[in-house]
Amino acid sequence: MDGNEQPPATVTRPSVNHRMLAMLRAVGAGRGRVSCSSEPDLFIDGLSCGDQFAAHTLAHLGLVRAAGPGRPGELVPAVLTAAGQAIISGEQRPAA
């Protein structure tokens, strides 16, 4: 080593709680829809998710997104991003 090497970069994943993890699993199972909005609301099995703050957080963390474009307010299928999929694949334990 010549002293110029950098330590390997560590990957930090967003921390999610058990409720958020359940929401991610539902979306991963194809049961979620989101509203087309800057603050997307999440619907699971056709029902509004009871914790919209958590739903907004998942979207803002880049874990859940709309499957495609839609009109403002329209509900479209929700999908997991690669980061969201990594979390439900068991690469991260939920926060307490």
pLDDT 10s digits, 5-21: 666 555 555 688 999 99
Domain that holds residue 66: 18-91
pLDDT 10s digits, 3-60: 666 665 555 556 889 999 999 999 999 999 999 988 999 999 999 998 999 999 999 9
Looking at the domain assignment, is residue 4 inside a domain? no
Looking at the domain assignment, is residue 13 inside a domain? no
Domain count within the chain:
1
Looking at the domain assignment, is residue 28 inside a domain? yes
Distance CA 82, CA 40 (A): 19
Q: What is the pLDDT of residue 90?
A: 81
Looking at the domain assignment, is residue 42 inside a domain? yes
Looking at the domain assignment, is residue 58 inside a domain? yes
Average pLDDT over residues 52-78: 95
Residues 48 and 41 sit within 8 Å (Cβ to Cβ): yes
Looking at the domain assignment, is residue 6 inside a domain? no
Output the six-digit token pair for 43. Answer: 């619907």
Enter the pTM of the model. Answer: 0.78
Q: What is the pLDDT of residue 43?
A: 97
Angle between helices 52-60 and 18-28 (to 10 degrees): 70
Looking at the domain assignment, is residue 64 inside a domain? yes
Confidence band of 92 (pLDDT split at 50, 70, 90):
low
Average pLDDT over residues 56-85: 95
